[in-house]
Chain A
Amino acid sequence: MREVTYRDALREALREEMLRDKTVFLLGEDIGRYWHGAFKVTKGLAEEFGDERVRDTPISESAIIGVAIGAAITGMRPVAEIMFGDLSALAMDQIANQAAKLRYMFGGQAKVPLVIRMPFGAGVNIAAHHSQSFEAWFMHVPGLKIVMPSTPYDAKGLLKTAIRDDNPVMFFEHKLLYPIEGSVPEEEYTIPFGVADVKREGEDVTIVATLYMVQKALAAAEELDGQGIEAEVIDPRTLVPLDKQVIVNSLKKTGRIVLVTEDCKTGGVSAEIAAVVAEEALDYLDAPIKRVAEPDTPIPFSPPLEQFVIPNEKSIIKAVKEIIY
C-alpha cells in the first residue's frame, strides 16, 4: 500500500468529499490560494474548487463558526478550520451554545452537519496560547462528537465520516502528526465513529492513548517489549462516542491500565475513561489505574520545560512499571 502523510490524507478526504458532494465547502483563516492554511492541509484545493468553496475568512473565530452553523442548518456541509485549536475558545459560544444545541432546540427540524478541524497539542515551541489540548472541554458538551485520529489512515477515513455526519463534529488534529507517513489505500473507505482500534496487541498491560500520544505509547510499548512487558495499545479514535467495550475487554485480559492523554490531568479525558473502567470493570483491575497526562500548568515556551510537561515514552514506561510488580 502507498505511504501518505497525515496532512495529505486529510487533504484527500476533503477533496474526495468536495467532489462527491457539492454542498461541502471549506472556510477558515488563510486556507485559500494565498497561504493554503497554517499547516498546508488545503494546498491546491482553492485552485481546484474555486474561492467560493475554499473561503478565506476574516480573523474572527466566532464569525467562522457562526457562518458555518448558519450554512449547515440551511443545507450546506461546511468544514471550518480553526488555525490553532486554542483559538476555538473565541468561538465557544457558537460551538457549545449554538452548534451543539440547535438540533435539540428545534425539535429535530434543523440539523447541523458541521465539521470543525483544529490542530491541537504541544511540542513545537509555540508557547501557552498555541499548544493546548481542549478535548475535555468539548467532551463535556452534549451534542458534540469528538474525533482524534492518530494515523494518516484514521485521519482520512474519519474525516470523511465526519463530513457525512449530520451533527457537529470536533475534528482534532495534532501539529506533530501532519508530517507522519502511513499506509492509506487508493480506494474509497470510511471509518465509523465509536470503534476503537487496537494499535498493538499485548497481554500484560493496556495503554489507552489518544491523538499524538498513540505514537508515544507505541514507542513506549516497543521499548517495553524489549524488557519482557507486552503492552496492548488502544486508540479510541473517537472520544464521543467512546468505544468502552474494547477498552474493558482489553483490561479483562491484562488486569492493568494506563491512560495517556495530552490534556491536563485534572478533569481530563483520562479521568473520564478511568471512571468508566472503575464503574464497568472494577473487578478486573489488578492494580491502580494510572494516568499519564500533562500537569496542570500552561505549556511553557522554553523547549526543555515544554518537553518536561508533555507525556513521553519515559513517563509512559514509568507508569507501566509502577503497576507491573
Chain B
Amino acid sequence: MVTKILMPRLSLTMKKGTVIEWFKKEGDNVEKGEPIVEVLTEKVTYDIESPSSGVLRKVLVEEGVDVPVAGVLAVITAPEEELPEVEVTAEPPLERVEERIIASPAAKRLAKEYDVDLAQVKGTGPEGRIVEEDIRKYVAEKKVTPKIREVIPLTGIRKTAAERVSLSARTAPHTTLNMEVDMSKAAKLREEVQVSYTDIVVKAVAKALVEHPIINSTLENEQIKVFHDINVGVAVATEKGLIVPVIRNTDRKSLEEIASELKELAEKARQGKLIKDELTGGTFTITNLGMYGVDTFTPIINPPETAILGVGRLTEKPVVENKKIVIKPLMNLSLSFDHRVVDGAPAAQFLQKIKKILENPEVLLA
C-alpha cells in the first residue's frame, strides 16, 4: 500500500511549511508512529510521524524547501512494492474538515438544551456514539451552565434599573447603618390620623433632612451639591419592576397631604400611568421591605442621591425598660449612604434624628 506523507496544517492560518530535517533516508524501514521528518511553520517546529509502517520509498522534498499545506513530502510503500508515479506538486490545501461527531438524536437534543459542546463529550455507545446518558454524566460532572428555561431580554424598566444600580454600586462607596426604633407612639399616631407607617416614615425623613441638609445632596464633578428642595422618593414594586415616584417638597407637606399623594402615586405607578415629573427630581429615597418580613437589609443608593433609607419589618419584641421586660413594637431602619459625601458619624446622627422623631411622632403634626 502506498502512503503519502503530506505537509500538515498545524494552524488555521498556515499556508506552507519548511522541511527542516529528515530523520530517515530513502530505503529506510519506518514504523508507524515513528518521527520521520521535522517541519517548521511560522510558529512552531513539528515532527511528522510516519502514518504507516513500511519502507520510505521516495523523498520528494529536500531539507530547507517550502511546501504548501497538503503538499507531498515523501512516499512510503510496502517493502517489495513498486513505486507508482507520484505527483510532486502540492495538492490544493484541504479545508479543515470537522470530524463528524456521532451522537444520538436524543443526546443532541439534550446537549443543545444544556449548551454542551459535543466535541467535549466522550461517547460510550457503539463506535463511540454519544448517547443521552453521556450528556447527563457530562452535565453532572462538569457542572455546566444550568439548563436555560427561557431568555428574557434586558429591556425597559429592568434595563434602566440594572444600569442605575450598577452605576451606584460602582461609584458610591456604600456603608449601611442599622438602627432599631420603638414604634409604640407612631402606632398610636397611625391609628389616630389614619395614615400608613410609610407615610409617617416619609414625613419623619423629610423633617430630619431639614436638620441634616448634607444628606440631601449629590456628588457631581468633585462638588457636593446640597439641595434646597427636599423631594423624597418612595420605591414601589410593580409588575414591570421597581419604580420610584417622588413627593416634591416633602418637608412642606402635612402628614395627611403626604398620605394622600403617596396613595395616588403608588396607584398610578402600579397602573403604569406616572408622568416624567412624578418620577424625577428626587433627592432622597425610602424603600420598604418590611411587608415581606425583612428585618434589615443594605439598600443601594438611588443615584445621583447621597443616601437611601431601608425600612424593615415592624414586630413586637420584649424590651428591657427600667429593669422590666415590656413588649414593644420595634422596627429596623437601614441607612445606606455615600461615604464620599459624609462620614459615618454625621450619617449616624441623621439616622438617630429619624429615630427620635419616630419615637416622638407628635412633632410630625406640628
- Write out the residue numbers on chain A whose beta carbons fall within 8 Å of the beta carbon of B105: 282-286
B131 touches A285 (CB 8 A): no
CB-based contact B104/A286 at 8 Å: yes
Q: Tell me, in angstroms, the Cα distance from A285 to B125 when the chains sit together.
A: 13
Cross-chain contact B124 with A285 (CB below 8 angstroms): no
Question: Which residues does chain B contribute within 8 Å of A286, judged by CB atoms?
Answer: 104-107, 131-133
Question: Does B126 count as interface, using CB distance less than 8 angstroms?
Answer: yes
Interface string of A302-325 (1 = CB under 8 A from B): 000000000000000000000001
Picked from B106, B108, B124, B126, the residue with its CB within 8 Å of the CB of A255 is B106
A309, chain B: closest CB distance, angstroms:
27
8 A Cβ contacts from B76-111 to A: 104-109
User: CB of A287 within 8 A of chain B?
Assistant: yes
Q: Give CA–CA (A282, B104) in the complex, Å.
A: 9
B residues 46-94 near A (Cβ < 8 Å) are none
On chain B, the residues within 8 Å of A325 by CB distance are: 124-126, 131
CB-CB contacts of A272-290 with B at 8 A, as 1s and 0s?
0000000000111111000
Which A236-259 residues sit within 8 Å CB-CB of chain B?
255
Interface size on A, residues (CB 8 A): 8
Q: Is B131 within 8 A of A287, CB to CB? A: yes
* Chain A residue contacts of B106, Cβ below 8 A: 255, 283-286
Residue interface mask B132-155, A partner, CB < 8 A = 1: 110000000000000000000000
**Looking at chain B, what size class is its interface with the partner chain?**
10 to 19
Assess the A287–B125 pair: CB atoms within 8 A.
yes
A283 touching B125 by the CB < 8 A rule? no
A255, B109: Cβ atoms closer than 8 Å: no
Assembled-state Cα–Cα distance A284/B104 (Å) = 9
Q: Are A285 and B104 CB-contacts (below 8 A) given A255-B132, A325-B131?
A: yes
Shortest beta-carbon distance from B164 to chain A in Å: 42
Chain B contacts with A in 119-134, Cβ cutoff 8 A: 124-126, 131-133
A286 to B102, CA, bound (A): 12
Shortest beta-carbon distance from A16 to chain B in Å: 46
Q: Give Cα distance in the complex from A284 to B107, angstroms.
A: 8
Which has the most chain A C-beta neighbours within 10 Å: B105, B125, B126? Answer: B105
* Cβ contacts under 8 Å, A285 to chain B: 104-106
Contact between chains at B124 and A283 (CB < 8 Å): no
A222, B107: Cα distance in complex, Å? 28
Residues on A facing B (Cβ under 8 Å): 255, 282-287, 325
Show 20 residue pairs from A and B whose CB-CB distance is below 8 angstroms, ordered by the A residue: A255-B104, A255-B106, A255-B132, A282-B105, A283-B105, A283-B106, A284-B105, A284-B106, A284-B109, A285-B105, A285-B106, A286-B105, A286-B131, A286-B132, A287-B104, A287-B125, A325-B124, A325-B125, A325-B126, A325-B131
Other than A282-B105, A286-B131, A287-B131, give 15 A-B pairs with Cβ distance below 8 A. Answer: A255-B132, A283-B105, A283-B106, A283-B108, A283-B109, A284-B105, A284-B106, A284-B109, A286-B106, A286-B107, A286-B132, A286-B133, A287-B125, A325-B124, A325-B126
Shortest beta-carbon contacts, A-B, top 5: A286-B106, A283-B109, A286-B132, A286-B104, A285-B105
